């Protein structure tokens, strides 16, 4: 019998493709918190990451083979990378179609933006089958397969259809909608049934988990919920699974460390020196209608109108990173934002003061942290968000315990940051404007007290703790059967030390 490994599945492989100084193509690891946290666990025991390569690798020069690049990438990351091939049509209908024109808007409570095109469903099924086949080809029965996000809900069901037995966990990075929204999905029974095929299903918040259990209770029969706490059991007539809430987080030390680097401090000073004598507000979002950018701009204008003393005293720096531009809603949103920024700046700009500095493009991670540090107010107002990592990154980067976080109550992050953040309803333009005014006038003692609470919470509940708590719930009591769990605790300590999951593995 071979040793059980950790196998991670996500829509895309966590890699970036670059060229070096000699124009040679190279694959390197991606930079997200998930990659940082899972990398060491995967490396430790020969783990595997399975995902789609994206469109980029299609344009490789002839002398570079994909296999050679992946091999190189694997030696760079320290774990195996297994690609899933998708046809152009599958990408269009499974990824842009079913995933991003149905599940994404529906799960963010925006059913009016859904395009329930029936041709998307078969593509979603067939793409999920491709991923399941890749699992079958690259893993064995002992492995633990951790599936990520809404693009891959059907993988466990497809594995069963293929006759494969695997221990599986699923984590949903986006919210799970309430029953009256979920019920509009034409494939509601298939999607719910597919989720019930995993051994563990994880959500970002208690609210998401409650919504899911409500849907299961209403749309299936004979289900019992057993247990309390953040992980409970669901007993259906056919099977038993665990359902939990696991709020995702960030690598706190990475952001706190970057904030203290001389280069980042220098860049922070440059931003401040160029925008003197004013409070800086900061927003950074993927271009997405869920992020509430137009509402935020309207709230900013409302603050300038109702509190004229803020004019010349505050500037909003808004970064928007383009995404999913082939979908019409995203194109329209981009135009809407450009128009609003133009109108606001056209109306209020005076010599020496531009109300909004708008950056359409992405920043490097150190640049991002410079902006987090330079801006004393973060304005994060999604209409709905699974978690929102920007809110946590902002807190981790405020190493001087100053700075005010204005946060939407509809972001998953609100539940853990509510003691310190100014919570707002993003649809309430005047309420957000009042929060901007309050933040601009907050005294340093209150800022410090609030930031201390938030930094404490993010430091304690970092991405490493998130990985360990999900995996612990996934492997249940069989720690000894999963040697990769030794990454979190040496085997000899497993029985004696019941508190090890409350520590970051970095401490070991």
Residues that bind ligand GDG (CB under 6 A): 173-174, 248, 284, 286, 319, 321, 362-365, 368, 385-390, 393
- Taking the least distance from each CB to ligand GDG, the nearer of 208 and 376 is 208
The distance of closest approach from Cβ of residue 34 to ligand GDG in the complex, given in angstroms and rounded to an integer, is 7
The distance of closest approach from Cβ of residue 369 to ligand GDG in the complex, given in angstroms and rounded to an integer, is 9
- Taking the least distance from each CB to ligand GDG, the nearer of 135 and 390 is 390
DSSP 3-state assignment of 41?
helix
Beta-carbon contacts of 34 under 8 Å, excluding residues fewer than 6 positions away, are 14, 148, 248, 463
First to last CA, the chain: 29
Q: Rounded distance, CA 508 to CA 503, Å?
A: 9
DSSP 3-state assignment of 291?
helix
The distance of closest approach from Cβ of residue 194 to ligand GDG in the complex, given in angstroms and rounded to an integer, is 20
Q: Rounded distance, CA 273 to CA 261, Å?
A: 18
The distance of closest approach from Cβ of residue 413 to ligand GDG in the complex, given in angstroms and rounded to an integer, is 7
The distance of closest approach from Cβ of residue 384 to ligand GDG in the complex, given in angstroms and rounded to an integer, is 9
Q: Rounded distance, CA 478 to CA 469, Å?
A: 14
- Taking the least distance from each CB to ligand GDG, the nearer of 302 and 397 is 397
Using CA atoms, how far residue 363 sits from 193, 254, 318, 378, 395, in Å, is: 41, 16, 12, 16, 18
Q: Which two tokens stand for residue 378?
A: 């973060």
Q: Which H or E run contains 434?
A: helix 429-440
CB atoms within 10 A of CB 347: 10
Q: On the CB side of 471, how many CA atoms lie within 13 Å of its CA? A: 30
- Taking the least distance from each CB to ligand GDG, the nearer of 393 and 434 is 393
The distance of closest approach from Cβ of residue 362 to ligand GDG in the complex, given in angstroms and rounded to an integer, is 4
The distance of closest approach from Cβ of residue 67 to ligand GDG in the complex, given in angstroms and rounded to an integer, is 30
385 is known as an active-site residue? yes
Q: On the CB side of 265, how many CA atoms lie within 13 Å of its CA? A: 7
Furthest CA-CA distance within the chain:
74
Catalytic residue, from 93, 143, 385, 462: name it.
385
Contact 173, 148 (CB under 8 A): yes
- Taking the least distance from each CB to ligand GDG, the nearer of 72 and 367 is 367
- Taking the least distance from each CB to ligand GDG, the nearer of 386 and 420 is 386
DSSP per residue, 231-245: EEEEE-SS-EEEEEE
φ, ψ of residue 333 in degrees (nearest 5): -65, -40
Q: Rounded distance, CA 55 to CA 36, Å?
A: 24
Contact 66, 75 (CB under 8 A): no
- Taking the least distance from each CB to ligand GDG, the nearer of 164 and 368 is 368
The distance of closest approach from Cβ of residue 233 to ligand GDG in the complex, given in angstroms and rounded to an integer, is 24
The distance of closest approach from Cβ of residue 32 to ligand GDG in the complex, given in angstroms and rounded to an integer, is 6
- Taking the least distance from each CB to ligand GDG, the nearer of 377 and 387 is 387
Catalytic residue, from 173, 208, 288, 462: name it.
173
Burial class (CB in 10 A: 0-12, 13-18, 19+), 19: exposed
CB atoms within 10 A of CB 183: 13
Q: Rounded distance, CA 503 to CA 391, Å?
A: 22
Using CA atoms, how far residue 245 sits from 163, 283, 487, in Å, is: 29, 27, 22
- Taking the least distance from each CB to ligand GDG, the nearer of 30 and 46 is 30
Catalytic residues: 173, 385
């Amino acid at each position: 019998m071979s040793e059980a490994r950790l196998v991670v599945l996500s829509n895309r492989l966590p890699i970036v493709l670059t060229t070096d100084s000699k124009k040679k193509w190279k694959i390197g690891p991606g930079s997200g918190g998930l990659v940082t946290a899972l990398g060491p666990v995967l490396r430790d025991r020969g783990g595997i990451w399975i995902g789609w390569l994206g469109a980029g690798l299609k344009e490789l020069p002839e002398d570079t083979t994909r296999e050679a690049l992946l091999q190189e990438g694997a030696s760079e990351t320290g774990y195996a990378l297994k690609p899933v091939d998708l046809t152009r049509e599958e990408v269009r209908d499974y990824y842009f179609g079913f995933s991003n024109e149905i599940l994404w808007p529906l799960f963010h409570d925006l059913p009016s933006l859904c395009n329930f095109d029936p041709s998307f469903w078969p593509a979603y099924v067939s793409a999920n089958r491709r991923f399941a086949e890749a699992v079958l080809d690259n893993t064995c029965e002992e492995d633990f397969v951790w599936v990520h996000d809404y693009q891959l809900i059907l993988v466990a069901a497809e594995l069963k259809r293929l006759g494969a037995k695997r221990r599986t966990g699923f984590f949903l990075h986006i919210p799970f909608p309430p029953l009256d929204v979920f019920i509009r999905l034409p494939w509601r029974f298939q999607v719910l049934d597919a989720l019930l095929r995993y051994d563990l299903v994880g959500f970002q918040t208690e609210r998401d988990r409650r919504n899911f259990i409500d849907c299961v209770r209403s749309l299936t029969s004979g289900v019992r919920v057993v247990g309390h706490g953040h992980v409970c059991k669901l007993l259906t007539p056919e099977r038993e699974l665990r359902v939990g809430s696991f709020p995702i987080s960030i690598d706190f030390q990475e952001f706190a460390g970057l904030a203290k680097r001389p280069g980042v401090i220098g860049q922070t000073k440059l931003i401040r020196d160029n925008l003197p004598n004013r409070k800086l507000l900061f927003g950074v979002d993927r271009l997405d209608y869920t992020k509430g950018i137009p509402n935020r701009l309207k709230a900013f204008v409302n603050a300038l109108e109702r509190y004229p003393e803020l004019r010349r005293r505050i500037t909003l720096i808004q970064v928007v990173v383009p995404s999913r531009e082939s979908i019409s809603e995203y194109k329209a949103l981009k135009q809407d934002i450009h128009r609003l920024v133009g109108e606001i700046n056209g109306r209020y700009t005076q010599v020496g003061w531009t109300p909004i500095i708008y950056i359409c493009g992405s920043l490097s991670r150190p640049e991002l942290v410079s902006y987090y540090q330079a801006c004393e107010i973060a304005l994060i107002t999604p209409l709905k968000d699974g978690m929102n990592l920007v809110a946590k990154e902002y807190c981790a980067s405020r190493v001087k315990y100053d700075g005010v976080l204005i946060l939407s109550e509809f972001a998953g992050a609100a539940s853990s940051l509510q003691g310190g953040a100014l919570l707002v309803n993003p649809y309430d333009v005047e309420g957000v404007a009042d929060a901007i005014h309050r933040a601009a006038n907050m005294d340093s003692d209150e800022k410090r007290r609030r930031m201390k609470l938030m930094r404490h919470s993010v430091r304690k509940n970092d991405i490493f703790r998130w990985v360990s708590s999900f995996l612990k719930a996934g492997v249940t009591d069989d720690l000894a059967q999963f040697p990769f769990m030794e990454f979190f605790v040496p085997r000899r300590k497993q029985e004696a030390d019941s508190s090890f999951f409350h520590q970051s593995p970095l401490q070991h």
